[in-house]
Amino acid sequence: MTTPALLTENITVRYNDVLALEDVSLTVAPGRICGLLGTNGSGKSTLFKAILGLVPAELGRVRLRGRPPAAARRKGIVGYVPQSEQVDWAFPIRVIDVVMMGRYGHMGITRRPRRADHEAVAAALERTDLTGLAHRQIGALSGGQRKRAFVARGIAQGADVFLLDEPFAGVDKRSEATIIEVLRAMRDDGHTLLVATHDLAGVPQFCDEAVLLQRRVIAHGAPDEVLAPDRLFEAFGIEAQAVGERTR
């Protein structure tokens, strides 16, 4: 039996008296793109933090390629692409330096890049169409280019599992198409991607499966099944047509 790329079992997380996640169980096989859907406050960001081991779970467990979060992070198994607002874009660092950060786990305590590190970074930049922008300050890039830089960091890292938090927010259609192309290619290479997104209309186009979250898992399966009107009403509290209009 194939080991799941991502497994959460009965994850429950509280912030003081606030129940953020309740009994969340999720299994994603290797080589899949899974869309993570839900309203603001539904627990998507908390689930990412629980998967990464950044918030303690009151109950349950997480496994990434069979390893607990801390071990998976040490091994470079999991890569994370954050929301734009979580990054200090004024920090004076180049695109190539951001991508090289993905190689730190391969360098040892000196963090002195070797030939293999430079080659991995160059390949990641080429794959995300950022080679020509490698020496530009990260804050000077467009929204879509910034997202691709963090995807490139995960590729250079050699991660098996990627968590992407709203990768299409604030990007133009060209960058969105480029990101989707990169994600599909990563999936085809055997990587597993959990993608939090508000773009419900686009989910069937690039996701193999989807999860609808409202502190607990409302539905998990094929996108068309998860996006059924009754499921959307349960999660969003409004009609499916209105959800589509608000997420365009």
Residue 54 sits in a domain of what CATH number?
3.40.50.300
Q: Is residue 181 part of a domain?
A: no
CA-to-CA separations, 98 to 13, 109, 151, in angstroms, rounded: 31, 18, 10
Q: Is residue 146 part of a domain?
A: no
Q: Domain count for the chain, please give it.
A: 1
Q: Which of 88, 196, 93 is nearest to 137 (CA)?
A: 93
Which domain range does residue 214 map to? 1-77+160-174+196-248
Q: Is residue 168 part of a domain?
A: yes
Q: Is residue 121 part of a domain?
A: no
Tokens of 167: 């990768």
In degrees and rounded to multiples of 5, residue 235 shows phi and psi of -80, -40
Runs of H (alpha helix) within the chain: 44-52, 69-74, 95-100, 104-107, 115-127, 143-157, 173-188, 203-206, 223-226, 229-236, 240-246
Q: What is the pTM of this model?
A: 0.88
Residue 6 gets which letter from DSSP? E
Instruction: Give pLDDT tens digits along the chain (248 positions).
Output: 688 999 999 999 999 999 999 999 999 999 999 999 999 889 999 999 999 999 999 999 999 999 999 999 988 899 888 876 566 777 889 999 999 998 988 887 778 899 999 999 999 999 999 999 999 999 898 888 888 898 899 899 888 999 999 888 878 888 888 889 999 999 999 999 999 998 888 899 899 999 999 999 999 999 999 999 999 888 887 654 555 554 44
- The sheet with strand 192-196 has its strands ordered as 78-81, 161-165, 192-196, 33-37, 209-213, 217-221
Q: Is residue 24 part of a domain?
A: yes
Q: Is residue 140 part of a domain?
A: no
Q: Is residue 244 part of a domain?
A: yes
